[in-house]
Amino acid sequence: MKPDSSFDLPHGARGFELEGLAIEFCGDKLLWIDRNRAEHYTMHMGSSSGVLDVHRTWTDADGLHHQTVFAIKLSELPKALEDLAETPLLRTFCNSIALFGSMAQETRYHAGERF
């Protein structure tokens, strides 16, 4: 059955895999699957419940287990992102990304001049 989504990946793909990590898009869920372990993480977008949650699912000798890692009401998400944007750690990270991007552009420009 094709997942219910607003976009389609090429060739009917539902995700991708890199070095034992698979990411799968399933309707209003996103799964991170570690192919080397008997576990996966699910981000449920909360379209019905109004709650965005991330949970871990794994199987061991005692059976199937679920553990909520993170959950937030969708109505509280914008404020949480605003608060996060004010943290020094995120600001430093974003500045680093911007610096890396400008260095990469300068390198391409100068490399183009040399050749």
Q: List, for residues 18-65, the tens digit of each pLDDT value.
A: 788 888 888 888 888 888 888 899 999 988 899 999 999 999 999 999
Instruction: Quote the mean pLDDT of the chain.
Output: 76
Report the candidate in 27, 58, 28 with the shortest Cα–Cα distance to residue 46: 28
Give the pLDDT confidence score for residue 63 in this predicted structure. 93
What confidence tier does 88 reach under pLDDT thresholds 50, 70, 90? confident
Q: What are phi and psi of 58, to 5 degrees?
A: -150, 160
- Quick check: pTM over 0.85? no
Mean pLDDT of 82-86: 82
